[in-house]
Chains A and B, each alone.
Chain A
Amino acid sequence: MLRLEKCKIENGDFSVLADLQVNAGARVAVIGPSGAGKTTLIEAIAGFLPLSQGRIMWGDLDLRDLPPGQRPVAMLFQDGNLFPHLSVAQNAGLGLRANLRLNQAEQAQVQQALERVGLGDLAARKPAALSGGQQSRVALARVLLQKRDLLLLDEPFAALGPALKAEMLDLVAEIATETGATVLMVSHDPQDARRIADAVILVADGKARSPMPTAELLDNPPPVLKDYLG
């Protein structure tokens, strides 16, 4: 279970308060008006922003003083998820070893992960030679190899068309099911939440609320969410 205990995250001149829990294995969408602090919340869990109060626990593990790379977290960013000078296999292989010195068994693992996301025969390509959807798949292959307990998505598929985005979200759901990862996904589109999330964290007015069941919240939105959804 992920617990944010009386957390205060300060980012520049605004701050976000969070006191909530997310069950292990849950798939949660983080929704709210732009500028409300969705990314701030996610980045604090990933370790890019320090907490000014409170602590973040994953089970019995206190994440507060762990650097980002040592948290049980894999993250996909809005863009820049791949290194353009590295091949598809190398980009995915970073999920196993940052220095890319992979032994044969590990290379086989990389190939397997690429096949899982449907890129088995593109291992030697560079990202520039891939479509947007294929690039997202490479990043997901890396997530597979990272085998982290938490998967944080900061709208990595925002630049894709609706059909492709839906396809990627389904793939995320499948991967999360296979690895048992807990997913937190920033989104400004309620359809995304309905598609794969069983609960929603609403971030508004400088506060992140506890997860609510998706359908319940979206069908009966509180005023602040109503204003946002229109």
Chain B
Amino acid sequence: MARRAQPISAIPGAGAALLVAALILGTLAAVALRAEAGRGFAASDWAALRFTLTQAVLSAVLSVGLAIGVARALARRRFVGRSLLIALLGAPFILPVIVAILGLLAVFGRAGWISQALGFFGFESLQIYGLHGVVLAHVFFNLPLATRLILQGWQEIPAERFRLAAQINAGPGAMWHLLEAPMLARVVPGALAVVFAICLSSFAVALTLGGGPRATTIELAIYQAFRFDFDLGRAALLSAVQLLLTGCAAYLALRASSVEGTGAGLDRSLRRWDGTGGRAKTIDWAWILFATVFLLLPLIAVVLSGVSGLVLLKIAVWEAALTSILVSAGSTVLLLLLAVPMAASVALGKARLIEVAGILGLAASPLVIGTGLFIVIYPIADPFDLALPVTALVNAVMALPFALRILVPQAQAVVSRYGKLVLSLDMAGWAFLWRVFLPRMRAQIGFAAGLAAALSMGDLGVITLFADPEIATLPLQIYRLMGAYQMQAAAGAALLLLLLSMAAFWILDRGGRWHAEA
């Protein structure tokens, strides 16, 4: 068969995928070579492994368990602000972890609102540090994600089924057996696996709310081995274990879930005839109230405590903010240079290679890549000089799987819809890229860039490995302020970071859709 003409080359995308694979596998190899397997696992390493698994299981079960109720309530109630609440469920994805933690501290912390209220009635204040604090923060981040995944399950039930159920006058029990239970059986395993996988590589939460021998995740242990003991061998051994864990979990999550949390159209409302009883209504409203309060209170707390701190910000915080903006911009550009050609290659049918790179991106942990890069760079240059470029690069790679999920469907649509016309007009290559592909992809590119910029802006991960005291991104600066018990300044800086992340996302996402035609 003759070779098939294509409107654009698949080679740059394949090159980008190879680059990503080389980065992830290369750092992995560097880590593996350094790992001292013979020395074996110390007691503290076993503790870290146990804690990592325990908190991830608890976080997944709690997040998904609560999400079942919230999703059911959102699926069958119509109210003003429903689509706003559903949009809010997407917010934690781009919310900087350190900001959420300050919010959670302000609400659930020792001196937080709830502790104060308890103290008023003569009870003891809450203790947030440790396992339950880590799980609380993970539920805060993943309850919305799990809710969106299950809501998607509700959305995928054909409207005819609801009509049929109404026709046969199905009561609550019948609704459960006919619709909800089969849907949950399909969706819940995937949701559990996704949340479990995310919580496995939790670093910033464990760094701030965990710590100590009883609440250290493997990621945190890598950081400590690296930062406190400068024991590269141990860091590498832990990295290998972490990679095995996240690799298995990512594989499980991809196997178990065909659903996507970022899917649009979740606020589409469908006429429902069930759940009209008073008890069902009360239960639903309780779930909706719970979710709203649980998600909004920490955010409100950040804003309230941050406003007064905003005027107190020192010059170092503003410098850190500028650094963060630069890292975020660099990371976004890098991401687009990798993701757009990769999406084009997938659209041209080169799916395999790219999928592999995407899966590697999901399984890779920032701290492992960071450790590997450190080992690779160390003999050649001072890794601390490269703290910012490395952070931007690692952030871009971590955002890659999400960016591909956003870009690929539209790239496929553009190629299949206009491919032949483009070929018959002899406008393959650059003309296609500039005149058709990029303009048609603008909204998706803007959305992906917005996510990448916000994720990078709020990231507190690999920078902690590489930063010397002279240099800091804004999240790291906030962490340092917290460490110095300057909570007022930390709150102000957190509000600034929140504003920057949201602004970066909003500007890029809006920019993509500005004056966009159908």
Please give the residue numbers on chain B whose beta carbons come within 8 Å of chain A beta carbons, in ascending order.
1-2, 4-5, 417-418, 420-421, 423-428, 430-432, 434-436, 439-440, 516-518
Q: Which residues of A contact B1 (CB under 8 A)?
A: 50, 52
Q: Which residues of B contact A128 (CB under 8 A)?
A: 517-518
Q: Which residues of A contact B431 (CB under 8 A)?
A: 98-100
Asked whether B428 lies within 8 Å of A69 as measured between CB atoms, the reply is yes
Please give the residue numbers on chain A whose beta carbons come within 8 Å of chain B beta carbons, in ascending order.
43, 46-48, 50-52, 65, 67-70, 73-75, 77, 80-81, 83-86, 94-95, 98-100, 126, 128, 146
In the complex the two chains form, what is the Cα distance from A107 to B517 in whole Å?
24
Asked whether B2 lies within 8 Å of A50 as measured between CB atoms, the reply is yes
Known interface pairs A43-B420, A48-B420, A99-B427; 11 further A-B residue pairs with C-beta atoms within 8 A, sorted by A's residue number: A68-B423, A69-B5, A73-B424, A75-B420, A75-B421, A77-B421, A83-B439, A83-B440, A100-B431, A128-B518, A146-B425
Asked whether B440 lies within 8 Å of A85 as measured between CB atoms, the reply is yes
Q: Which residues of B contact A80 (CB under 8 A)?
A: 417-418, 421
Q: Which residues of B contact A77 (CB under 8 A)?
A: 420-421
In the assembled complex, the CB of A88 is this many whole angstroms from the nearest CB of chain B, namely: 13
In the complex the two chains form, what is the Cα distance from A128 to B412 in whole Å?
22
In the complex the two chains form, what is the Cα distance from A146 to B426 in whole Å?
11
Q: Which residues of A contact B518 (CB under 8 A)?
A: 84, 128
Asked whether B421 lies within 8 Å of A95 as measured between CB atoms, the reply is no
In the complex the two chains form, what is the Cα distance from A52 to B418 in whole Å?
25
Residue of A nearest to B423 (CB): A68
Residue of A nearest to B430 (CB): A99
Q: Which residues of A contact B5 (CB under 8 A)?
A: 47-48, 67-69
In the complex the two chains form, what is the Cα distance from A77 to B424 in whole Å?
10
In the complex the two chains form, what is the Cα distance from A54 to B387 in whole Å?
62
Q: Which residues of B contact A69 (CB under 8 A)?
A: 5, 423-428
Given contacts A52-B1, A84-B517, A84-B518, are A75 and B435 in contact (CB under 8 A)?
no
16 A-B contacts (beta carbon < 8 Å): A47-B5, A47-B424, A51-B2, A52-B1, A65-B2, A67-B5, A68-B5, A75-B424, A77-B420, A80-B418, A85-B517, A94-B425, A99-B427, A100-B435, A128-B517, A146-B425
In the complex the two chains form, what is the Cα distance from A81 to B516 in whole Å?
19
Q: Which residues of B contact A65 (CB under 8 A)?
A: 2
Q: Which residues of A contact B425 (CB under 8 A)?
A: 69, 94-95, 98, 146
Q: Which residues of A contact B516 (CB under 8 A)?
A: 85
Residue of B nearest to A48 (CB): B420
Asked whether B436 lies within 8 Å of A83 as measured between CB atoms, the reply is yes
In the complex the two chains form, what is the Cα distance from A97 to B417 in whole Å?
21
Asked whether B439 lies within 8 Å of A70 as measured between CB atoms, the reply is no
Asked whether B439 lies within 8 Å of A98 as measured between CB atoms, the reply is no
Given contacts A94-B427, A126-B517, are A83 and B420 in contact (CB under 8 A)?
no
* Interchain CB contact (< 8 A) of A83 among B4, B426, B430, B435: B435
Q: Which residues of A contact B423 (CB under 8 A)?
A: 47-48, 67-69
* Interchain CB contact (< 8 A) of A68 among B420, B430, B439: B420
In the complex the two chains form, what is the Cα distance from A56 to B423 in whole Å?
18
In the complex the two chains form, what is the Cα distance from A98 to B423 in whole Å?
10
Q: Considering residues A46, A80, A83, which has the most beta carbons from chain B within 10 angstroms of its beta carbon?
A: A83
Residue of B nearest to A65 (CB): B2
In the complex the two chains form, what is the Cα distance from A75 to B205 in whole Å?
59
In the complex the two chains form, what is the Cα distance from A83 to B417 in whole Å?
10
In the assembled complex, the CB of B6 is this many whole angstroms from the nearest CB of chain A, namely: 10
Given contacts A85-B439, A98-B431, are A68 and B424 in contact (CB under 8 A)?
yes
In the assembled complex, the CB of B437 is this many whole angstroms from the nearest CB of chain A, namely: 11
In the complex the two chains form, what is the Cα distance from A77 to B2 in whole Å?
23
Q: Considering residues A77, A98, A126, which has the most beta carbons from chain B within 10 angstroms of its beta carbon?
A: A98
Q: Which residues of B contact A75 (CB under 8 A)?
A: 420-421, 424
In the assembled complex, the CB of A74 is this many whole angstroms from the nearest CB of chain B, namely: 7
In the assembled complex, the CB of A80 is this many whole angstroms from the nearest CB of chain B, namely: 5
In the complex the two chains form, what is the Cα distance from A154 to B296 in whole Å?
56
In the complex the two chains form, what is the Cα distance from A73 to B424 in whole Å?
7
Q: Which residues of B contact A95 (CB under 8 A)?
A: 425
In the assembled complex, the CB of B232 is this many whole angstroms from the nearest CB of chain A, namely: 52
Residue of B nearest to A69 (CB): B426
In the complex the two chains form, what is the Cα distance from A51 to B1 in whole Å?
8
In the complex the two chains form, what is the Cα distance from A43 to B423 in whole Å?
12
In the complex the two chains form, what is the Cα distance from A128 to B518 in whole Å?
7
In the assembled complex, the CB of A5 is this many whole angstroms from the nearest CB of chain B, namely: 17
In the complex the two chains form, what is the Cα distance from A131 to B417 in whole Å?
20
Asked whether B424 lies within 8 Å of A98 as measured between CB atoms, the reply is no
In the complex the two chains form, what is the Cα distance from A46 to B420 in whole Å?
9
Across the A-B interface, give the 5 residue pairs with the lowest CB-CB distance, nearest first. Answer: A69-B426, A98-B427, A50-B2, A68-B423, A98-B431
Asked whether B421 lies within 8 Å of A98 as measured between CB atoms, the reply is no
In the assembled complex, the CB of B74 is this many whole angstroms from the nearest CB of chain A, namely: 34
Asked whether B420 lies within 8 Å of A98 as measured between CB atoms, the reply is no
Q: Which residues of A contact B430 (CB under 8 A)?
A: 99
In the assembled complex, the CB of B401 is this many whole angstroms from the nearest CB of chain A, namely: 28
Asked whether A98 lies within 8 Å of B426 as measured between CB atoms, the reply is yes
Q: Which residues of B contact A46 (CB under 8 A)?
A: 420, 424
In the complex the two chains form, what is the Cα distance from A48 to B421 in whole Å?
10
Given contacts A69-B426, A84-B518, A94-B427, are A99 and B420 in contact (CB under 8 A)?
no
Q: Which residues of A contact B417 (CB under 8 A)?
A: 80
Q: Which residues of A contact B421 (CB under 8 A)?
A: 75, 77, 80-81
Q: Which residues of B contact A70 (CB under 8 A)?
A: 426
In the assembled complex, the CB of A11 is this many whole angstroms from the nearest CB of chain B, namely: 11
In the complex the two chains form, what is the Cα distance from A38 to B154 in whole Å?
42
Q: Which residues of A contact B435 (CB under 8 A)?
A: 83, 86, 94, 98-100
In the assembled complex, the CB of B434 is this many whole angstroms from the nearest CB of chain A, namely: 8
Residue of A nearest to B440 (CB): A85
Residue of A nearest to B432 (CB): A98
In the complex the two chains form, what is the Cα distance from A15 to B436 in whole Å?
33
Q: Which residues of B contact A50 (CB under 8 A)?
A: 1-2, 4
